[in-house]
Amino acid sequence: MDSSSYDPQNENHTDDEYGQCNEQKTIIINSCDNNSIKEIESKVLSKLDVEENHDLHLHNASLEMKHFIATNFDNNRGREQCNNFTQKTMNDPSIQDQFLDFSNLPDDKFITIRQSKPIRNVALKFHVTTHTMSEERKRRLEQIKSEKENAYLLPTTPITETQFEPYPKTAACLIIGDEILNGKTVDTNSASFARFCYEHGIDLKRIEVIPDEEDTIIETVRRLSKNFDFVVTSGGIGPTHDDITYPTIAKAFNLSLTLHQQTLDRMKDFTNNTPSLKIMMSKQSQEVVDANQRMALFPNPSVIVYPNKTLWVPIVIVNGNIHILPGIPQLFNSLLFAFSKYLKVRQTGKDGEKFYRKFIKTYRPEGFIAPVLTEMHEKVKDLGIKIGSYPKWSGDKRWVVVSLLARENHKDKLEGLSIEIAKKIDGFLIDNADDAAVGVIGDKVKGVKL
């Protein structure tokens, strides 16, 4: 697109480059120096007559321009820089396409939002245009949308079927970090992964915690990769000297390290769209630049997955089944549970069903119920049904929770077994073990005492 096709000083500008222009409206919002990008976006969107679920948003590049204007619009030099930025934006095909947002508007309509000159230092003006998409533009943007949503595998080399296991049956979790072993930090990521595996019908076989030591990491990832379908690592991918997970796993499988440009670009975009980070990083030294690049230096070949579009951090998959995740719990959980859409849990076959669980609570001591549980275990062990007992107490109260776990294809068998065991140990069915742990489930019985 020629830069002359968009003049930020021309408030009557219309553009049918993307298809038929149906409607144009002007939005004026009050502004002041402390407007953040998000505040500007919120004000503009509040003026648009669209539903929240349309997921309409302003393009990040134009937001940066708008924020710049909001804080510098009484400055001739600032306006000149903004005009230059606008022309650069409209000349860049990769940015042009991002101006178009796929909202849930009918009849292939979409919206573009553009900045015009500020009004007397107190307000910002935006042009909002509704278009009907041309067939060629529709084809191109559907292709872009498909690539963004479906091409989540962004490998440094071509993907083969052995590089990624979409049907994992067994899993292992590797927690890497001296801070876990010396008690400085409490590990919660392994518990999150255990819950993830349970919800997806994956049999979690092992959790290991190891130090930030190269030899230990190499031995462990090789062993886990060999023995399990789905291995997740947590920690050691930051910018500091003791973050050695990427290079060490690369060494474990005789791989090189490659700087991944897309991750660097995502990191930069995230920084630019976070004002506090942008100011901080604008004065960074070369040492800081090099440190940040360490977080995008990945084993090659590997598969790079961005399951959460709001995060720049990817999941890096090495050797087909080693999934490298950050150690920060918020990031770990966000990436892990977003990754579930890429896993295909088989719904048939002995090992393909999701898990089903029942809990029984009894006030009988564990020694009293042990013979019953042993007898029942012998009856169902060949079906893969697991029975466990867990003593609990709160104050002077004591009780035992019995857990029965099976695949959903043995759900009926487990239902009958739980009733039979509950009768024999003077127990009753409860909703979950967590309620029992705090001693309140006795008043919230699922069904009646058997």
Residue 412 lies in a domain: yes
pLDDT at 297: 94
Structural domains of the chain, count? 3
Same domain? 248 vs 187: yes
How far is it, in rounded angstroms, from Cα 3 to Cα 90?
Answer: 6
pLDDT at 186: 94
Same domain? 37 vs 173: no
Range name among 94-98, 197-201, 275-279, 295-299 with the lowest pLDDT average? 94-98
Residue 77 lies in a domain: yes
> How many CB atoms neighbour CB 6 within 10 A?
17
Q: What letter represents residue 83's amino acid? A: N
Range name among 42-51, 150-159, 350-359 with the lowest pLDDT average? 150-159
Same domain? 123 vs 166: no
pLDDT at 345: 52
Q: What's the token pair of residue 29?
A: 């919002």
pLDDT at 44: 59
Same domain? 311 vs 378: no
* pTM attached to this predicted model: 0.56
Same domain? 178 vs 313: yes
DSSP code at position 283: T
- pLDDT digit string (tens) for 28-76? 655 544 455 455 556 655 665 544 333 333 333 344 344 433 344 344 4
> How many CB atoms neighbour CB 297 within 10 A?
17
How far is it, in rounded angstroms, from Cα 73 to Cα 119?
Answer: 9
If pLDDT is split at 50, 70 and 90, which confidence band does 291 have? Answer: confident
Taking the CA atoms of residue 69, residue 72, residue 74 and residue 75 in that order, the dihedral angle to the nearest 10 degrees is: -110
C-alpha distances in angstroms, 64 versus 41, 79, 120, 291? 11, 13, 21, 25
| Average pLDDT, integer, range 167-183 | 92
The domain in which residue 375 lies consists of 355-443
How far is it, in rounded angstroms, from Cα 142 to Cα 109?
Answer: 13
If pLDDT is split at 50, 70 and 90, which confidence band does 24 have? Answer: low
pLDDT exceeds 70 at position 443:
no
If pLDDT is split at 50, 70 and 90, which confidence band does 199 have? Answer: confident
| Average pLDDT, integer, range 8-25 | 46
pLDDT exceeds 90 at position 323:
yes
pLDDT exceeds 70 at position 442:
no
Bridge partners (DSSP) of residue 406 are: 356
Mapping DSSP to helix (H, G, I), strand (E, B) and coil, where does residue 238 land?
coil
> How many CB atoms neighbour CB 260 within 10 A?
21
Supply the mean pLDDT for the chain: 70
pLDDT at 33: 44
If pLDDT is split at 50, 70 and 90, which confidence band does 407 have? Answer: confident
Inter-residue contact 325 to 305 (CB < 8 Å): no
- pLDDT digit string (tens) for 82-91? 444 444 444 4
Same domain? 335 vs 363: no
Candidate ranges 45-54, 214-223, 293-302, 429-438; pick with highest mean pLDDT: 214-223
pLDDT exceeds 90 at position 381:
no
Same domain? 184 vs 333: yes
Higher pLDDT, 373 or 1: 373
Higher pLDDT, 149 or 128: 128
Q: Which of 150, 180, 211 is the last residue of a domain?
A: 150
Inter-residue contact 295 to 247 (CB < 8 Å): no
**Where would I find the H helices in 151-188?**
178-181
Residue 333 lies in a domain: yes
Residue 156 lies in a domain: no
Q: Which of 295, 310, 342 is the last residue of a domain?
A: 342
Q: What's the token pair of residue 352?
A: 């393909």
| Average pLDDT, integer, range 419-437 | 79
Residue 244 lies in a domain: yes
Q: Which of 122, 150, 178 is the last residue of a domain?
A: 150
Same domain? 362 vs 330: no
Residue 83 lies in a domain: yes
Q: What is the CATH number of the domain that holds 338?
A: 3.40.980.10
Element (H, E) at 360: strand 355-362
Same domain? 393 vs 361: yes
pLDDT at 316: 95
pLDDT at 310: 84
Higher pLDDT, 14 or 423: 423
pLDDT exceeds 60 at position 153:
no
pLDDT at 272: 75
Mapping DSSP to helix (H, G, I), strand (E, B) and coil, where does residue 305 land?
strand
Range name among 73-77, 184-188, 197-201, 406-410 with the lowest pLDDT average? 73-77
pLDDT at 169: 83
Return the HEC string of 321-358. Answer: CEEEECCCHHHHHHHHHHHHHHCCCCCCCCCCCCEEEE
Same domain? 201 vs 227: yes
- pLDDT digit string (tens) for 204-259? 999 999 999 999 999 999 999 999 999 999 999 999 888 999 999 999 999 999 99
pLDDT exceeds 80 at position 165:
no
Same domain? 241 vs 310: yes
Say what percent of the chain tops pLDDT 70.
Answer: 53
Residue 449 lies in a domain: no
Same domain? 174 vs 133: no
Residue 384 lies in a domain: yes
Kindly provide the residue ranges of all beta strands, DSSP E only, lying in 145-198, ordered along the sequence: 170-176
